[in-house]
Amino acid sequence: MIALYPGTFDPITNGHFEIIRRASTIFQVLIVGVAVSEEKSPIFDHEKRLSMVNEVLNGFSNIEVQPYDGLTIDFAKQIEARVIVRGLRSPADGQYEFELASMNKKLADDIETVFLSSGDQNAFISSSLIRQIAQEGGDVSDFVHPVVHQALSEAYKK
Residue 147 lies in a domain: no
Residue 50 lies in a domain: yes
- Residue 32 has a pLDDT of 98
Residue 133 lies in a domain: no
Q: Catalogue the active-site residues.
A: 16, 40, 89, 127
Residue 37 lies in a domain: yes
Residue 130 lies in a domain: no
- Residue 30 has a pLDDT of 98
Q: Are 92 and 48 in contact (CB under 8 A)?
A: no
Residue 132 lies in a domain: no
Name the β-bridge partners of 121: none
- Residue 89 has a pLDDT of 84
Residue 150 lies in a domain: no
Secondary structure letter of residue 145 according to DSSP: -
CATH no. for residue 28?
Answer: 3.40.50.620
Residue-wise pLDDT tens for the chain (158 aa)?
999 999 999 999 999 999 999 999 999 999 999 999 877 789 999 999 999 999 999 999 999 999 999 999 999 999 999 999 999 987 777 888 999 999 999 999 999 999 999 887 877 788 999 999 999 999 999 999 999 999 999 999 85
Domain count of the fold of the chain:
1
Residue 140 lies in a domain: no
CA distance 7 to 108: 19
CA distance 54 to 52: 5
- Residue 129 has a pLDDT of 92
Q: Going by C-beta distance under 8 Å and a sequence separation of 6 or more, which residues neighbour residue 89?
A: 15, 117, 118, 122, 123, 124, 125, 126
What predicted TM-score, i.e. pTM, was given to this entire model? 0.93
The residue range of the domain holding 11 is: 2-124
- Residue 158 has a pLDDT of 57
Nearest in space to 6 (alpha carbons), one of 99, 90, 101, 133: 101
Which stretch of DSSP H or E encloses residue 22? helix 14-24
